[in-house]
Amino acid sequence: MASPNGSPSPGGEDRTEQEPQQSEHLNIKVTDNNNEVFFKIKRTTQLKKLMDAFCERQGKAPQQCRFLFDGQRVNPPDTPETLDMNDGDVLEVHQEQIGGSC
Amino acid sequence: MTAVSETGAVTLLPEAPQVGIPSFESTDTHDRLNQLRDELRTLQRTESTSSLLVNEKVNTLNQYVQNKANEKGKRYLKSLQNGPWQVQPYQVWDDLGPDAVKSRFFLELLCVISRYCEYPIAVEKLNAARDKRKEASRGTHKGVNKKADRTVHDATVVLQAVEQTGPAHVKKRKRDAGGFATTEQDRPPTTVHSSDSASEISIEGPRGKSLKPLGASDVTDTVGDTAFNASVLSDGDANAAPDQLSVPSFEEEDARTLDIPENGLQIPSPHLATPVASDDCVEWSEPAVQIKKHPKPATRALPVSTPTREVIDIDSLPDSPSARIATEPLLTGAIESLHGEHWLSTEAVFRAAKLFNPDILTWYIAEPITTTSDPSVGDRGEARLRLLEDSHQYVVVFVHNRCHWTVGIIDRHDKTIRIYDPLQSTRYINESQQAVQDFARRLPGKCSGPAPEQQWTFDQTPIFPQQDDGFNCGIYAVVFVIFAMLNEEAPRSILPATWREVIACGFKACLGHDREDAVGTDSLRDDPVADISTFGAPIPSADDASVEGIKHEVKGLTVLLNDARLRVENFTMISNLVEKAYQARDECRRRIEEMMGLIKIHLSLLDEPCTNPHRFPLKSSLVSIRQLDSMRKLAVREIAKYRNVAGSAELKRSQLREQAMDAARKDIESW
């Protein structure tokens, strides 16, 4: 790697060996049947905040929404880091149902 | 009264105020015509009524009408406003009524119709279609609403009619818009005389009337296509009106072109023939534009609101106060749904099955699906189940069927599916089979067993107790899954209320409540002791000693004994399940130890100098270690749940047993 003035920078070889670091923020799409909302979130931020923001924005009760990522339930303390999420991943929101009989 | 738009079009303004129209007595006719044109142009054609109103009032009216329409309706109203006829929203309201404004389909059709014919004509046709619909006999228009003022049916009828007449109709309308009759019958009889000039044609008015030039004193408004717009017919007055006026012939109108006339008339009044001064009459040269020049039908698409992608920065939002209960809102709702005779929620059936899963490496509890799910949600190709491993032979999936729970157990090795419907309804079973089969086809990963080409087959409907109430289908489905996971023989019957209590205890344990709180009496739906003590209240006293009383007492005791026997069976069954849960916990522990051993082996291999890189590839070792570690974490988490559930269930079992024993003792003593 070269510095802006063209001269090789000290320790440049070490930096080239490093893997490209993942960005600190992620863009996550949250979708239900009708709506799509895009969120920008840090990898270490709990997804509870995102869930609350989505529910508040869509006027839904948190007790009525199930958030799924890759078919698996997303718990409020989870973070994008623990779920190994990538930029552009999608969270599905399913409505909580009740059943007895008809 | 007439007005001229910027495009040269002219229309009738029935109630518009008079404007100062100059007389033609002056010799400088062209200047006066220019002045007339300017004054007429100040009146917008579309402001026929609004010219009488203040602009603010018009805007208020339009806003009021637009608020009555929905979003798409507003677009159509705007399209009409910007269209060739520049119809204001309040005009639509006034002409067609409130029903028309509220129906976006009607407005859509009105937009299309206005491309084929003039707006006033469209209104007339719509009125005619409405009248015809209302007057139609019952047999001819079956199923057509005969009461509504405006229906889409009317607009469809009109649209079909104008579409059939198509371009010719439009052409005729263009011609008629010049102020002449629509049909031959309506047209006033005129006599056309050709003058010397090839471009000049003289015409006499109907019934010997001559066309009176503008500026006459008796200017009256004319209505309809049969009227001459700018000229007024009057009885022959040689001093005031010419005998002959030259107007364009209908046959030549298409051949005319829009030429800029001489003498400074940049845009001549389209409905007027250009007068040429004479002593006793006014001769009219050929006007440059004789017809109302319709703008082309609005072919532009309706305005479409482009979705804006707004990204919300979560980290910039303020932190909300977090309560302990708020971390598990779904589980709280699940506990509530287990009370009394409430219907079970999605979370309740899903978490209950997970709680009693004895082998997390073999059984996978999938998120419940619904038979009415929207296929647009998520990736409907291959299901993405992150934690599904190849070792999971069975996948349990609950199916929400409108308001009823069924469950399917998928055997990935044998490619078989078992469907259990607590109501044993053929309809629910068929719908659930379809949903579960679709889900099974999308399962990812490989599993040992038949070839992938093999079709999924359905096992025979399992023998299991049938739901006999209207609110416990979720409990029956969960208990079926528990027995299937534990490989237990199906019970003769189950007690849903007891199962509700046991599952609620487990959920409360998961929420982190204390054990005493988890098995507190507040979770009990009904107290069996109270039931027994209050049973037989209407039993007659001993003094009566009637046979009926004794029979009733015996019958009541029989029911009581049966109920007690059933409870004892249920307690025994729960005890067995608790034992099974302990065994499953031990089994999980054993497997975890095996996994830890495997992990150590992998780690030790990594520590050793690797001479053959193909023998112990680094990447595969890391992947397998990661998988084993994730499974270990999952197992530890599940074991913690089992421990809580098992402890709660055991305590509950002992309490219920004591209560039943007390009740039985009291009953025997009273007997």
Pick from B205, B197, B192: nearest CA to B249: B192
Using a CB-CB cut-off of 8 Å, the residues of chain A touching B500 are none
Q: Do B320 and A52 touch (CB under 8 A)?
A: yes
Decide if B472 touches A, using CB distance below 8 A: yes
ipTM score: 0.76
Report the pLDDT value the prediction gives residue A41, as an integer from 0 to 100.
92
Averaged confidence pLDDT in chain B: 65
Nearest Cα residue in chain B from A52: B320
Q: Is B250 exposed, middle or buried (0-12, 13-18, 19+ CB in 10 A)?
A: middle
The 3-state DSSP class for residue B164 equals helix
Q: Give the model confidence (pLDDT) of B523-558 as tens digits.
A: 333 333 333 333 333 444 445 556 666 666 666 767
Measured distance CA(B165)–CA(B116) in Å, rounded: 9
Q: In this predicted model, what pLDDT tens digit does every residue of A58-93 receive, in sequence order?
A: 888 888 888 998 888 888 888 998 888 888 888 989
Q: Which fold is adopted by the domain A24-95?
A: Ubiquitin-like (UB roll) (3.10.20)
CB proximity A90 to B under 8 Å: yes
* Contact between chains at B378 and A92 (C-beta distance less than 8 A): yes
Contact A71 B385 (CB under 8 A): yes
Whether B194 has a pLDDT exceeding 70, the answer reads no
Length of chain B: 671
Judged by average pLDDT, the poorest of B202-216, B374-388, B502-516, B589-603 is B202-216
For residue B285, what pLDDT is reported? 43
Which residue of B lies nearest to A47 if distances are taken between CA atoms? B314
The rounded distance, in Å, linking the Cα atoms of B436 and B407 is: 9
Q: Given CB atoms, is B374 within the 8 Å cutoff of chain A?
A: yes
Which of B311, B370, B405 has the CB atom closest to A40's CB atom?
B311
CB contact under 8 A, B311 and A27: yes
Residues 6 or more apart whose CB falls under 8 angstroms from that of A87 comprise: A23, A26, A27
What is the predicted pLDDT for the residue at B485?
87
- How is residue B229 written in tokens? 């717009």
**Residue B409, beta-bridge partner list:** B396, B418
Q: Give the nearest partner residue to B386 out of A27, A63, A72, using CB atoms.
A: A72
- Contact of A94 with chain B, judged by CB distance below 8 Å, is answered with yes
Is A99–B474 a contact, with Cβ atoms under 8 angstroms apart?
Answer: yes
Confidence check: pLDDT of B52 > 50: no
Cβ contact, residue pair A63, B330, below 8 Å: yes
**Ordered DSSP codes for B523-570:** G-SS-HHHHHHHTTTTPPPTTT--HHHHHHHHHHHHHHHHHHHHHHHH
β-pair type (B394-400, B363-365):
parallel
How far apart CA B271 and CA B280 sit, in angstroms, is 22
Subunit contact A96:B330, Cβ cutoff 8 A: yes
- Better pLDDT: B550 or B341: B341
